[in-house]
Structure 1
Amino acid sequence: MAVHVKALRGVALLCLAAASVAVPGYAGATTLTILQSEPPRSMDPADQGATFTGNVLMPMYEGLVTRGEDLKLHPGLATKWTVSDDGLTWTFDLREGVKFHDGSDFNAESAAKSFHRLMDEKLGLAGAGRLRPLLKTVEAADPKTLKIELTRNYPAFLDLLASPQAMIVSPSEAEKGDLNRVASGTGPFKFVEWSSGDHVLEEVNPDYWGEKPSVDQLKWTWSAEQSVMNMALQTGDADIVNPLPPVFAASIENNPDLKLVTGNGSAVFWVALNVQQKPLDKVEVRQALNYATDRDALVKALLHGYGTPADSPLAPIPPYHLDGPQPYPYDIDKAKALLEKAGVPDGFTMSVAVQEPEANIAEALQGMWAKIGVKLDIRRLESGVWTKAAFNDPEAKKADNLGSVVASWSSGGFNPDQQLRPLYDTSSWAPSGANLGFYSSKELDDLLDTAASTAEPAKRKELYDQAQKIVNTDAPMVLLYVTKDLVGVKKGVDGVWLIPGGDIRATYATKSSN
């Protein structure tokens, strides 16, 4: 069996090496090869919500605003903006002389059409839910002025506009219905091809309005095999590996021919519990699972120390993270007492869906929870199958007898509403959102609405503190850990930077021959 695994890894490396060869017509072009742990899900920025898909798309698309290397918001396709006193109407002055990759003009009308796609529920765009509830009207006041009226005051609206889902797409390509397979934006790189099992290739946009990139091509490849990711960086088949598996971080850091780029992560890993399934419908059972989880051991064994135990549904990034002691320290006796109180002193059996690369998380939990009599049935699933299972509605999960899902989520740490609302608001029940366990609390829903429309920082902080306490107490999830962002980079590659949560920016990276 070991020989078979070794052979498979060898084949994967050969395929990756083949993918690094430039396509015909680009002999001598400077190609930056970026290896990620999963393939992209779509070339349409609004029809996806995956961090690593967003990384592939961002060089080809732009939004009204952009987040810079200083992690602050800057003008993008909008040069400036104003907001009405009531916070409901935003007016954007748009950049002139910009063209989409298909040659059509960018203007207020095309920008409005891009937002209208997000507002159209019939299109069923997977990432539109982040913005659709906020958008009341979007219209072109004139060719270079866009007006957006919100349904409610939302001070963090600009943060949403910097997300991949808000990127402006070519109306003509959108009308053709090709955006799932062919990207068309205004960015510094243009789409060339997507070979589904192999790579996405992007080339420099010669008509780009702004600063031109230093490299000619970006080639995105993927592998879920940790050993393949490490070997590709060691052999030079990949210039950048994201995320670098923590098990290899120390060796990369000590290798003079490689670099380890690190960042404060915002990806919270958790187990979403199906609160409609017995006995998970009892808060004591959910709390018991939290007490039975040794987070320090998970960080040490699975992350090799490159992470922190999760103590809140928000990542430990100021200013909104709830500071204080761990709400669920590892306490087997406490866990057993809670199960007895819930009427299941001998434990129970539950299932968990997990993507194959993260099966080690479920296996670790299986051992921990066995100490309180909980038998964990692990369902290892390929990415696409996992997505379908995880985002099934309540009836489908009941029929599937699926009790829990191992998942992670990151909003980048800038907007707590986008970390809490998608996962815990009643309106976010799967499949329309990422509330995978169908948790519902009117108190929390009301708090999130109030906090999202509150501009005063101290009051906003107070409201989000209350929200985190409610989620921690109700325990619709088992908190696990927050990963540290780790990226492996080959010597001679510079200008790679990170946004908390696994977002990598290599658009203006440079690559020398050294």
Structure 2
Amino acid sequence: MSPRKSMALALAALMLSAGAALAQPTEIRIGVALEPPALDPTAGAAEAIDVVVYQNVFEGLVRIDQTGAVQPGLAESWTISDDGLTYTFSLHDGVTFHDGTSFDAEDVKFTFERLLAADSVNAQKALYAPISEVSAIDPLTVAFTLSRPDGLFLFNLGRGDAVIVAPESAANNGAEPIGTGPFAFVQWDRGSRVVLEQYGPYWGDKPALTKATYLFISDTSTMTNALLAGDVDGTNNFAPEALAVFEGNPQFKVLVGSTEGETILATNNRKAPFDDLKVRQAMAHALDRQEIIDGATYGYGVPIGTHFAPHHPYYLDLTGTYPHDPHKARVLLKEAGYPDGFSATLKLPPVAYARLSGQIIASEFAKVGIKLELINMEWAQWLEDVFANKDFDLTIISHVEPFDIGIYANPDYYFGYDNPQVQSLNETLNATTDEAERKRLAQEIQTIIARDAVNGYLFELAQTGVWNAKLEGMWQNAPVEGVVLRDIHWVE
């Protein structure tokens, strides 16, 4: 071999080696606290299912973005009839499921007939009750006929409960999920991990990642060590009490956002003295949200003044409605006939944010004359006594369902708020599809329930992600459950 040729080959090898060294990684390992019981989001309620498969393996006609807004999914566009009862979707062409079978309108029809069937086990079946008929007009056009207008119809189509499945594979999706998403299921080592790989024939934009491994790590110390050792590249929701390990460490980024978990001091509006607006206003003035957030969430909760997620486009900041003012609280209690305050019970479910918040609120209320007896309960007892039997004075709980302000229009709901104006506004909201009008109505309801101090509005549960500093594209907020992979990528 000539010296010139030998030098050229050596240079080429050096360039290849340098290129390999500079190449960006395309795989990710994500630590998650809970292992899903199955992998079919249309047949189970566990959040852990959507964390792995939502928008990754499975897709819906539409998808929810990080702000909670509805975006096109398998449907590239849609029209709504003037009466709000017919939604017609135009589907993307050339879409296939991961087993190679084609996607078309018949798959959409099958999905929703299965969801609404008498033997359906879909956890959110009731949300889709307005659907009276699904018609496959042609392979790329599907129409939904509703029995009544439903302003949340498009949002509900974007939930994990409404992802599209195929008749050929639906029965086995719990163990071997087959969807149309950018990632295909590869393996599930139970008790350890789920592996997904990029689906080559994916119909949409290719993600930067080629492989994603979800590792199940429930223990905070173990997760901390795995992150520090580089055994996992990130986690979407890390224990707030341990975040200090990663803050200020240039190898990591801590992403703090909000979830759909409105944490409230739920109040039994049916019984005295809580049926008195002045008493509820006094309690609202007695609350110091920042003290509660600092003590119960280590400073990571987002303050709220009403029952709505701060990241949502409809959110109205009403935290100033009843500012912390113990003197005003005592004046209101006196006006309500309780110059010396009163005693009440505070029943607490077995979650840290509730138990810690309860201790702080008891101290805050004592300063205005309200003496609280803290009663710790297990979940089964809380669900029976508080939620089902409504046997409580006060409790603390996070409501994690998206866009659940409609619970204030149900006088039979556990906190017993009965306001005909809110019920009328909510009925109109449910029947309205115009976005501007929906926002106005939602904000009017938010304002009324804040003014009525129906509950003590404390904070939105935070999403506290810890990620390798070289990763970008992760969701900071969690308007729906899931760790969406499509935009995640490595950078230098």
**TM-score normalised by the shorter chain: which range applies?**
0.7 to 0.9
The AA in structure 2 aligned to 1:159 is F
- Deviation at residue 63 of structure 1 after TM alignment: 0.9
SS at match of 1:360: helix
Using the TM superposition, give the Cα deviation of residue 51 of structure 1 relative to its aligned residue in structure 2, in angstroms. Answer: 5.5
Partner of 1:486 in structure 2? 464
In our comparison, the structure showing a higher alpha carbon Rg is: 2
Q: What is the identity, as a one-letter code, of the residue corresponding to 2:95?
A: V
Mark the runs of 5 or more structure 2 residues left unpaired by the alignment: 1-24
Which one of 42, 46, 68 corresponds to residue 42 of structure 2?
A: 46
Quote the Cα distance in structure 1 between the aligned partners of 2:228 and 2:74: 39
Match of 1:310 among 294, 297, 304: 304
Instruction: Give 2:484's match in structure 1, choosing from 505, 510, 514.
Output: 505
Change (3 A) 1:424 1:90: same
User: CA 1:324–1:211 in 2, change beyond 3 Å: closer, same or farther?
Assistant: closer
Gaps of 5+ in 1: 1-28, 412-417, 430-434
| 1:150 aligns to 2:146 (yes or no) | yes
Deviations 1:303-327 (A, max 9, x none): 4444432111123357533345623
**What is the alpha-carbon distance in structure 2 between the residues aligned to residue 34 and residue 243 of structure 1?**
11
Q: Are 2:296 and 2:352, in contact at CA under 8 Å, matched by a contact in 1?
A: no
Q: Distance in 2 between matches of 1:476 and 1:320?
A: 20
Q: Which amino acid aligns with 1:471?
A: I
Change (3 A) 1:66 1:346: closer
TM-score when scaled to structure 1? 0.76
Q: CA-to-partner distance for each residue in 1:176-231, whole Å, 9 max, x for gaps?
A: 3x545553322122334555644433333344333444444323244555444443
Secondary structure in structure 2 of the residue aligned to 1:259: strand
- Aligned 1:171-250 pairs, distance under 5 A: 171-174=167-170, 176=171, 178-194=172-188, 197-223=191-217, 225-249=219-243
**8 Å Cα contact 1:277-1:403 kept in structure 2:** no
* Cα distance in structure 1, aligned partners of 2:456 and 2:46: 21
Structure 1 residue 115: Cα displacement: 1.6
Cα 1:394–1:253 shift into 2, 3 Å: closer
String of CA shifts for 1:334-362, please: whole Å, max 9, x gaps. 55566674779431223121435754333
* 2:137 matches 1:141: yes
Which of 361, 364, 367 in structure 2 is aligned with 1:365?
Answer: 361
Residues 252 and 329 of structure 1: CA distance in aligned 2, closer, same or farther (over 3 Å): same
How far apart in 1 are the matches of 2:319 and 2:396? Answer: 26
Aligned to 1:470: 448
Per the TM alignment, residue 244 of structure 1 is displaced from its structure 2 partner at its CA by 3.4
For the residue of structure 2 that corresponds to 1:300, the secondary structure is: helix
CA distance in 2, matches of 1:253, 1:82: 47
Find the residue that maps to 2:113 and give its secondary structure. Answer: helix
Measured in 2, the distance between the counterparts of 1:61 and 1:470 equals 38
SS of the residue corresponding to residue 90 of structure 1 reads strand
Percent identical across equivalent pairs?
30
Tell me the alpha carbon deviations over residues 86-116 of structure 1, each in whole angstroms, 9 at most, x when there is no partner: 2321111223333333554322122112122
Q: Is 1:260 the counterpart of 2:254 in the alignment?
A: yes
In the alignment, which residue of structure 2 is the partner of 1:75?
72
1:112 pairs with 2:109: yes
1:420 is matched with 405
Q: Which amino acid aligns with 1:295?
A: R
Residue 141 of structure 1 aligns to a residue whose secondary structure is: strand
Question: Can you list the C-alpha shifts for 1:282-311, whole angstroms capped at 9, x where unaligned?
Answer: 655554443332201122334444443211
**Contact 1:46/1:166, CA 8 A, preserved across alignment:** yes
**Contact 1:169/1:185 (CA < 8 Å) preserved in 2?**
yes
Q: Is residue 397 from structure 1 mapped to residue 395 from structure 2 by the alignment?
A: no
The secondary structure found in structure 1 opposite 2:404 is helix
Deviation at 1:280, TM superposition (A): 5.3
1:47–1:127 CA contact under 8 A, matched in 2: no
Seen in structure 2, the aligned counterparts of structure 1 residues 259 and 146 have a Cα distance that, compared at 3 Å, is: same
Aligned equivalents of 1:337, 1:407: Cα separation in 2: 30
Deviates more, 1:503-512 or 1:161-170: 503-512
- Number of aligned positions between the proteins: 462
Letter in 2 for 1:404: T
1:358 and 1:52 map into 2 onto residues whose CA distance is 22
Question: 2:342 aligns to what SS in structure 1?
Answer: coil
Alignment map for 1:436-475 (pairs within 5 Å): 436-455=414-433, 459-475=437-453
Cα separation, 2, equivalents of 1:197 and 1:52: 13
* Cα RMSD (Å): 3.7
1:111 maps to amino acid: V
The question of 1:406 aligning with 2:397 is answered yes
* Alpha-carbon distance between aligned partners in 2 of 1:64 and 1:83, rounded to the nearest angstrom: 14
Cα pair distance change 1:71/1:312, threshold 3 Å: closer
- The offset of 1:489, in angstroms, is 1.0
Indicate whether 1:84 and 2:81 are aligned.
yes
Cα distance in 1 for partners of 2:286, 2:134 equals 49
Decide whether the 8 Å contact of 1:389 with 1:397 is kept in 2. Answer: no
Larger displacement relative to structure 2 (278-287 or 179-188): 278-287
| Residues 1:168 and 2:153 aligned together | no
Measured in 1, the distance between the counterparts of 2:297 and 2:26 equals 34
